[in-house]
Amino acid sequence: MARRLDLEHVNIYYGNFHAVSDVSLMVPPHSVTAFIGPSGCGKSTVLRTINRMHEVIPGARVEGRVLLDGEDVYGPGVDPVDVRRTIGMVFQRPNPFPTMSIRDNVVAGLKLQGVKNKAKLNETAEQALRAANLWDEVRDRLNKPGGGLSGGQQQRLCIARAVAVAPDVLLMDEPCSALDPISTLAIEDLISELKRDFTIVIVTHNMQQAARVSDQTAFFNLRATGEPGQLVEIDQTQKIFANPTQRATEDYITGRFG
């Protein structure tokens, strides 16, 4: 079930380094929000903060609140493992588990959470692979290793794997940057379909991609190297690309940046 996501005054640190400063934004359910901005401006860091993947790195910490339908994922006593079950993530590089077959990769999340029912696992595997538009390509080789698929197929396998645990929100960290244009198109089409069931946040370096797939776009920037990254503006995608409020956004979008 898609849920609404709010970030309230989020500050992110790596040790003493202030990486991202004071981000507040709202992501409505059943929508796609794109994070754009130059390298190093903290978009991926913000994304990883949403499902508490950020704190896996030693010394990393977060201030502020990340609310999922009003409930703080950083609240006292909240289990980060639970948060990650609810907020799924797809990474930049396809990373299927090399020891597992295609089917086992898809249901890895459920299996490792202790689901044993074979029929249910098989059913979920099919549903997730269909949702990821991969079913027809792999239906006759579900028991083959996932590492044998092409890059684009592997990435859709990873999306299927993330979808299979039925999260409320799907975070995507540059999911197409390692893929060719045709695979990219396949994944972009998929994103528009997944919107029906999930709330989606996607980080991308490709502005056309942001314009194609997203409902709202957030532009992040750095004032200078060494300064923390910040959210410059967030608005409807059409508005950001046609008529941004901030000068920096316009410069970045039109390529006049830096």
Partner 1 sequence: MTRTLDRPAASPLFRPISTGRRLRNRLATALVTAAFLLAVVPLLWVLYTVLRFGVKVVTSSAWWTHSLSGLLSFQAGGGVYHAIYGTLTQALVCAVFSIPIGLMVGIYLVEYGARSRLEKITTFMVDILTGVPSIVAALFVYALWITILGFPRSGFAVSLALVLLMVPVIVRTTEEMLRIVPNDLREASYALGVPKWKTIVKIVIPTALSGIVTGIMLALARVMGETAPLLVLVGYAPFINYNLFEGNMAALPLVMVSERNNPTPAGVDRMWGAALTLVLLITLFNLLATVVARRSAIKAK
CB of 112 to partner 1, least distance (A): 4
Tokens of 114: 């202790």
Residues that bind partner 1 (CB under 8 A): 51, 53, 56, 58, 81-86, 88-89, 91, 93, 95, 97-99, 108-109, 112-113, 144-145, 147-148, 158, 161-162, 165
CB of 19 to partner 1, least distance (A): 18
For 111-118, the CB contacts below 8 A with 24+ separation are 113/85, 113/165
Between 113 and 238, CB nearer to partner 1? 113
Q: Cα torsion for 159, 165, 169, 174, to the nearest 10°? A: -20
CB of 241 to partner 1, least distance (A): 30
Between 174 and 232, CB nearer to partner 1? 174
Three-state SS at 49: helix
CB of 129 to partner 1, least distance (A): 16
Cα diameter, the chain: 56
CB of 158 to partner 1, least distance (A): 7
Query: Where does the chain show beta strands of DSSP type E?
Result: 5-14, 17-27, 32-36, 60-68, 71-72, 87-90, 169-173, 199-203, 216-222, 229-236
For residues 155 and 35, give the distance between their C-alpha atoms in angstroms, rounded to a whole number: 20
CB of 80 to partner 1, least distance (A): 8
Between 42 and 167, CB nearer to partner 1? 167
Question: Which residues 6+ apart lie within 8 Å of 129 measured at CB?
Answer: 106, 135, 138, 139, 157, 160
Between 1 and 112, CB nearer to partner 1? 112
**Sheet with 229-236, edge to edge strand ranges:** 71-72, 60-68, 5-14, 17-27, 229-236, 216-222, 32-36, 199-203, 169-173, 87-90
Between 38 and 80, CB nearer to partner 1? 80
Between 24 and 113, CB nearer to partner 1? 113
